[in-house]
């Protein structure tokens, strides 16, 4: 088993989490049917536009507001996420030991500011944001872009994401890829590759 030079993590669902119950409460308060916000926000074409940088996060929120109303859209857009402290603790430990830890997120033009607001911007060696790259996971081109920029062998990258499609994409280009469901998955993967 080769050495791992880079730990590459997804942001949402791995490092940063949003509370599904809060979204449900917003829907209820706005008189929306259950699931309407999620369906609107993550409508595939709209989502693809924002995560590839074709539209800004502000424009995304405006388009959501046109469907669910400005009150619900603003409440959704201003939710405060939480950081997985267990994941962050492991990231900090691994970086102290000399491992490069990077993010690969299907994000918006606001990712940098959001990481700064959460005070975790300095916890990652590099942030790969699909909105800046112009291609989003699970497109193989985004993984190839990461490999080119990092200048490492594909098998020396350990990638974790909470999306099975994204894990398959990373595997297809030769990264060591694992599905993330909780911090224990990251710990187990790190043990497998003798990072801890």
Residues 102 and 48 both lie in one domain: no
Percent of the chain residues past pLDDT 70, beyond the cut: 99
Q: pLDDT, tens digit, for every residue of 110-123?
A: 999 999 999 999 99
Q: Give the whole-angstrom CA distance, residue 47 versus residue 174.
A: 27
Taking phi over 0 as left and psi of -120 to 50 as alpha, with beta for the rest, 11 belongs to alpha
Which helix H or strand E contains 70, and what residues bound it?
helix 70-77
Last residue of a domain, one of 58, 77, 96: 77
Q: pLDDT, tens digit, for every residue of 163-180?
A: 999 999 999 999 999 999
Residues 61 and 98 both lie in one domain: no
Whether 94 is covered by a domain: the verdict is yes
Nearest to 102 by CA among 184, 175, 188: 175
CATH number, domain of 95, equals 3.40.50.1000
Whether 1 is covered by a domain: the verdict is no
Full residue range of the structural domain in which residue 113 is found: 6-17+82-192
Whether 143 is covered by a domain: the verdict is yes
Query: What number is the average pLDDT over the span 121-129?
Result: 98
Q: Which residue has the tokens 């959501």?
A: 64
Residue 138 has pLDDT above 60, yes or no: yes
How many structural domains does the chain have?
2
Q: Which distant-in-sequence residues (6+ apart) come within 8 Å of 139 by Cβ? A: 169
pTM of the model: 0.96
Residues 69 and 122 both lie in one domain: no
Give residue 145's pLDDT. Answer: 98
What does the mean pLDDT of the chain come to? 96
């Amino acid at each position: 088993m080769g050495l791992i030079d880079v730990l590459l993590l997804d942001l949402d669902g791995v490092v940063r989490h949003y509370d599904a119950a809060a979204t449900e409460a917003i829907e209820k308060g706005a008189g929306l049917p259950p699931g309407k916000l999620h369906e609107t926000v993550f409508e595939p074409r709209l989502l693809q536009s924002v995560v590839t940088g074709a539209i800004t996060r502000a424009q995304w929120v405006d388009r959501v507001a046109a469907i669910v109303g400005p009150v619900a859209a603003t409440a959704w857009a201003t939710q405060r996420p939480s950081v997985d402290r267990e994941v962050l603790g492991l990231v900090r430990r691994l970086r102290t030991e000399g491992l490069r830890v990077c993010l690969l997120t299907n994000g918006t033009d606001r990712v940098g500011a959001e990481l700064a607001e959460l005070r975790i911007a300095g916890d990652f060696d590099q942030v790969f944001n699909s909105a800046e790259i112009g291609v989003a996971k699970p497109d193989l081109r985004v993984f190839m872009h990461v490999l080119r920029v990092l200048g490492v062998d594909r098998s020396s990258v350990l990638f974790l994401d909470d999306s099975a499609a994204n894990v398959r994409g990373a595997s297809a280009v030769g990264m060591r890829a694992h599905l993330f469901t909780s911090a224990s998955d990251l710990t187990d993967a790190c043990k497998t590759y003798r990072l801890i």
